[in-house]
């Protein structure tokens, strides 16, 4: 069994995002596209987090959320009949922009972070508010070293994760040529071992990303990397399924929401079996040929 996930979304509170990017519209468009698990985006923004709390409740799958019944009815009313059977789950996700100086160069790097529950979202919002204005934009800009952001995320809860965003973008990425680093290890320092995946973005295929990262001498061998959306194998059993590939699924078209699409590359040599996020999002990946 496989499902489609989009782990990088923005709400109406992020710059350059659609004003329609509210919970209901995100749910409807996820349904139309067959996306089973979608990021909430922007959970560190207080107004958006309030909307998340108003409209979502924990799903039976740990770490995931679903619409409250009254909002589910609204979404059903505006969903095409053919999509009504498609369930949608949300995962608490935010993109964070860090801007800081390291080794005499300005560094501007975007990161995706995920937390398993609303208490941790509150906690992280509070911690990060000390480093910048989290109200002005759904994608907050913080004066914080990438390594220190990762530390704060990891300490917030054992199931919190960080994935470097769109790693090849020149100006705002961990491996960006203009304001990034030459390797994920250099960017995250002694905590790089906890970075088990990267987002390829739209500027390279999974294979290209794999090759480029290897050339840059990153420890570990990056693994399966779809782009556009991410297709994950899943299992409802307690133990993660083994040796299942991740594949490119489809290209979204015609959305009136600006979708920040994502792709994930996994460094399987760092964790042979991964449990990405929680609940039924349990999966393992195998090395691509």
Residue ranges in contact with Zn ion by CB under 5 A = 110, 165
Question: What is the Cα–Cα distance from 109 to 146, expressed in whole angstroms?
Answer: 7
Select 165 or 246, whichever has its Cβ closest to Zn ion: 165
Select 66 or 110, whichever has its Cβ closest to Zn ion: 110
Question: What is the Cα–Cα distance from 69 to 46, expressed in whole angstroms?
Answer: 23
CB of 86 to Zn ion, least distance (A): 27
CB of 71 to Zn ion, least distance (A): 28
CB of 255 to Zn ion, least distance (A): 18
Select 116 or 164, whichever has its Cβ closest to Zn ion: 164
CB of 116 to Zn ion, least distance (A): 22
Backbone dihedral region of 69: left (phi > 0), alpha (psi from -120 to 50 degrees) or beta?
alpha
CB of 180 to Zn ion, least distance (A): 12
DSSP state of 19: T
**149 CB burial (10 A radius; 0-12, 13-18, 19+):** buried
Select 51 or 137, whichever has its Cβ closest to Zn ion: 137
Q: Which residue, among 267, 166, 281, has the nearest Cα to 222 in the 3D structure? A: 267
Select 28 or 165, whichever has its Cβ closest to Zn ion: 165
- Comparing every residue's Cβ against Zn ion, the nearest one is 110
Select 45 or 110, whichever has its Cβ closest to Zn ion: 110
Distance, CA of 210 to chain centre? 19
Query: What's the Cα-to-Cα distance from 197 to each of 5, 44, 161, 166, 224, rounded to whole Å?
Result: 15, 22, 10, 11, 10
CB of 144 to Zn ion, least distance (A): 16
Question: What is the Cα–Cα distance from 129 to 83, expressed in whole angstroms?
Answer: 39
């Amino acid at each position: 069994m496989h499902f489609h996930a989009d782990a990088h979304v923005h709400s109406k509170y992020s710059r350059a995002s659609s004003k329609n990017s509210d919970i209901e519209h995100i749910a409807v468009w996820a349904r139309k596209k067959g996306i089973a698990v979608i990021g909430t985006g922007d959970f560190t923004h207080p107004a958006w987090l309030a909307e998340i709390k108003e409209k979502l409740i924990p799903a039976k799958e740990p770490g995931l959320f679903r619409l409250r019944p009254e909002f589910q009815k609204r979404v059903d009313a505006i969903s095409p009949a053919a999509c009504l059977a498609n369930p949608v789950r949300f995962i608490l996700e935010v993109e964070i922009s860090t801007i800081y100086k390291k080794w005499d160069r300005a560094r501007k790097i975007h990161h995706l972070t995920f937390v398993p529950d609303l208490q941790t979202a509150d906690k992280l919002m509070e911690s990060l508010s000390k480093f910048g204005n989290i109200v002005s934009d759904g994608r907050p800009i913080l004066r914080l070293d990438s390594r220190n952001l990762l530390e704060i995320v990891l300490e917030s809860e054992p199931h919190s994760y960080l994935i470097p965003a769109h790693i090849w973008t020149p100006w705002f990425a961990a491996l960006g040529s203009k304001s990034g680093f030459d390797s994920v290890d250099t960017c995250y320092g002694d905590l790089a071992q906890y970075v088990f995946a990267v987002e390829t973005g739209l500027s390279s295929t999974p294979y290209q990303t794999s090759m480029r990262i290897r050339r840059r001498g990153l420890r570990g061998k990056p693994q399966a990397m779809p782009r556009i959306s991410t297709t994950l194998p899943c299992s409802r059993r307690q133990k993660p399924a083994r040796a299942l590939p991740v594949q490119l699924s489809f290209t979204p078209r015609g959305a009136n929401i600006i979708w920040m699409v994502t792709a994930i590359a996994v460094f399987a040599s760092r964790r042979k079996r991964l449990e990405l996020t929680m609940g039924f999002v349990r999966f393992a990946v195998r090395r691509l040929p």
